[in-house]
A and B are shown apart, each in its own frame.
Chain A
């Protein structure tokens, strides 16, 4: 095998531009004659817009125009849609609040945009925005998720602010399991609201060519084709073929850049309106206020066990905060991406979950790294750990007793999913070994001697990645397919340009996808170029989220590559005077089995474009496309073990060891996969110990900057001990499962299990800040 093939830690080719300052992010893009936009944002959580007087701004030198929601609706710009129709348990459709890109009559969260100021310079746009006089009539807001259904009604079509009451699983069977249980463990907790904080703020540069009526929108998107589809089909900005969306280098997404937002919509519209390119870049304060937030659940969960400690039933009631409007995929996150994961790694036969999605006067809440699956893992793994403590059973042993065994796959869970493969004992065993679990008691005693409290916590998580198959997802309410497209274009000289509908914003696809294609074609890694992120160059795509890129996008490329090889065999057979069935392809060579003739990949590619000795039945050219629709989800799983030491005097939690043993199936580039795990763990530890998006009772975001929202910094975290076990996925051609979210999914429960273990308390809310820990430590 070459040292750049599948399974090798190839150094990333994208790095050279990033480490030398030559990356090209949206804010680095400038258009001749461009103007600048600043948004007018609501200072109130809920208010009626009485009047907007822009006359002051018009006086400011350089201001070109102030536009409001009314201008957009006059131009028939439609609402921002939600792409997943969730039905309530009574069969009714979820209640969709109208969501104009710029608020027209009522604003519903602090920071909601209701106008856009366009000016010759950023300074002029800011000065103009300062002097727009907007009269608001304040309305009573509904802020807390706990009181959401009793609070003032946000939207006239949504009684009690309930978007849906969704359920999954068998309620009767679950109730019966509880009735017969020998032991019930019950917890009530929240899953704290998070603010994604990709380091690159969102941005957009839009231009409109009046001659061709074509828009070009450069923007910070994880899925430019989806952005184009929504902006044309739903928002009605322009027909799809007149709209090009480019997502160049994007500085992290973590879900927050999946969605179609008000700002890029308004900026694109304004470019046509003022007839000049318009640029907007969020400042960090805007990111805090107006990027979609994550998590924010209130949950009561119960686990029923029999006398042998076997799980018999799981009952979960969750209220999920959706914010003021439904963001692009908001409805699916606390339902299909959450309830379906509640079986975890266990054989629990009866599960029932009910989720009430509610509107509040806060920023929209949508997918953030893990999206529903960290919340599900938190429920299951906090319960299991607590049950073990209550029953005085070793937490590893209790898990083991309930694991789905390797010979039980495929395994149908009671919450809709069929796991194809896994080996949960293997990753648990490896993690126990690495964490030196056997000697934990001695370490704990040593800590106690120094006046510290030590705890250990487990999290045996499962996730479902590569959302699939399209037909099923659409039946369940998805508004789009969930396949991915890929194109492998062999150029006449034998090098290859690969086009993928996945988007890379840190994941390193330019490297891994080139590894896959060069490995399959047996050509040098350097000869394969990967193109992504431009609807003008890539045919179609659904982008990157839910750890889907290699499992779905990579599989599409394998499929296209297989077509290339099949056609190459037919061409080579003609050239070697044999039939295609007698041609083998390996290591970049076509070999005739019935003679000793061979042709290189380059020779065949050349023949395809200079077809002199060529089969009459074949079209010239060597370029193939494929759409890959996954047959099932993939199911990465693993065990994370956290060990913490707490100083009861200060309440500071020191993460002294963090072990992650993950099963991602086959791994294309171990270096990159480990990096993904590190980043996910950091976000998971951030959720458990540091991060919390907080609105005060009056609806103001009080964690709106890095002064108040505690991001994990280098000195908050340890180095991580990461390893892998492998059970290849059974239903995609690479045997891959996806690795992008695992860290964020597994880590919070592991940390909180360790913290509660150290403190000897049943529960502690996330984030376990020094204040909370200090109070808990004092009993």
Chain B
């Protein structure tokens, strides 16, 4: 089936099997390998992207469902010379080690900052509960999100 979607501001028309997942379109078809796959039960959040401005787990969305929608991935929010404030905060606070959870974590965190008022440590921890990180113990991730919330 044919699906057209806008990814990071660019329109793509793809022909996919009906059971194709959004994450496979992003990684396999569009070469946007910044979005990662860390599980097969929708529980790690490594695949998190924004769909029409809200964070979703792209391993849990069918490509067919995003026809006409706008998707933003980690590649679409900033570049090394012009980092998104959340990206910059992750670097400044050492909120990543192996980097595998990081794209999903950043996409979730941006959604969190944009949609939850008066963030504090507890709210950040609860808000990121859907994203697993095995490296950082979350300590510096929480710090980064609170820092970024100040500047966003």
User: Which A residues are within 8 Å of any B CB, using their own CB?
Assistant: 11-12, 14-25, 27-28, 123, 197-201, 249-252, 254, 281, 283-285, 505-508, 671-672, 674-676, 678-683, 705-707, 711-715, 717, 719-720, 743
Contact = CB atoms under 8 A, between A and B. Distances in A.
B101 to A, nearest CB: 5
Contacts of B44: 199, 284, 706
Given A23-B34, A199-B133, A679-B137, A714 B142 contact: yes
Interface of B: 17, 27, 32-41, 43-44, 46, 73-75, 78-80, 83, 87, 90-92, 94, 96-103, 106, 121-122, 124-126, 128-129, 131-143
A207 B99 CA distance: 26
B139 to A, nearest CB: 4
Chain B CB within 10 A, most for which of A199, A711, A719: A199
Contacts of B74: 19-21
Contact of A200 (B27, B36, B43, B131): B36
9 contacts: A17-B80, A19-B74, A21-B103, A251-B100, A252-B98, A506-B97, A679-B134, A682-B136, A706-B44
B94 A717 contact: no
Contact of A681 (B46, B94, B106, B137): B137
Contact of B138 (A252, A254, A714): A714
Given A250-B98, A252-B98, A713-B129, A20 B40 contact: no
A191 B106 CA distance: 35
B137 A506 contact: no
A22 B132 contact: no
Contacts of B43: 705-707
Contacts of A717: 125, 137-139
A284 B40 contact: yes
Contacts of A11: 91-92, 94
A21 B32 contact: yes
A720 B41 contact: no
B42 to A, nearest CB: 9
A16 B74 CA distance: 12
Nearest to B143: A719
B38 A22 contact: no
Given A11-B91, A675-B94, A20 B79 contact: yes
A743 B97 CA distance: 15
Contact of A714 (B78, B98, B124, B134): B124
Given A20-B74, A27-B36, A675-B97, 7 more contacts: A19-B87, A25-B33, A674-B94, A678-B140, A715-B129, A719-B143, A743-B137
Contacts of B94: 11-12, 671-672, 674-675
Contact of B99 (A251, A675, A682): A251
Given A199-B46, A199-B133, A20 B87 contact: yes
B34 A21 contact: yes
A257 B101 CA distance: 17
B137 A720 contact: yes
Given A21-B33, A713-B129, A715-B125, A200 B100 contact: yes
A283 B40 contact: yes
Contacts of A28: 27, 33
Contacts of B128: 713-715
Chain B CB within 10 A, most for which of A18, A251, A679, A705: A18
A685 to B, nearest CB: 8
Contact of A719 (B41, B96, B121): B121
B97 A508 contact: yes
Given A11-B92, A199-B38, A678-B140, A713 B132 contact: yes
B135 A252 contact: yes
Contacts of B27: 28
Contact of B98 (A17, A21, A284, A506): A506
Chain A CB within 10 A, most for which of B32, B122, B135, B142: B135
B134 A199 contact: yes
Given A21-B103, A249-B99, A252-B98, A679 B34 contact: no
Contacts of B83: 19-20
Nearest to A508: B97
A14 B99 CA distance: 9
A506 B99 contact: yes
A23 B80 contact: no
Contacts of B132: 199, 706, 711, 713
B139 A720 contact: yes
B48 to A, nearest CB: 12
B135 A679 contact: yes
Given A199-B100, A200-B36, A706-B41, A675 B106 contact: no
Contacts of B143: 719
Nearest to B17: A123
A252 B102 CA distance: 12
CB-CB nearest 10 A-B residue pairs: A21-B34, A251-B100, A18-B99, A682-B137, A506-B98, A506-B97, A21-B74, A678-B137, A706-B43, A28-B33
Chain B CB within 10 A, most for which of A505, A675, A682: A675
Contact of B96 (A19, A284, A676, A714): A19
B75 A20 contact: yes
A674 B134 CA distance: 15
Chain B CB within 10 A, most for which of A14, A25, A200: A200
Nearest to A13: B91
Chain B CB within 10 A, most for which of A21, A27, A285, A715: A21
A123 B143 CA distance: 41
B106 A719 contact: no
Nearest to A722: B139
A198 B74 CA distance: 21
A743 B132 CA distance: 18
B126 to A, nearest CB: 5
Contact of B141 (A14, A674, A714): A714
Contacts of A505: 98
Nearest to A19: B87
A19 B102 contact: yes
Contacts of A21: 32-35, 73-75, 103
A675 B140 CA distance: 8
Contacts of B138: 678, 682, 712-714, 717
Contacts of B79: 20
A452 to B, nearest CB: 18
A131 to B, nearest CB: 18
B107 to A, nearest CB: 10
A720 B90 CA distance: 18
A648 B94 CA distance: 37
A196 B49 CA distance: 26
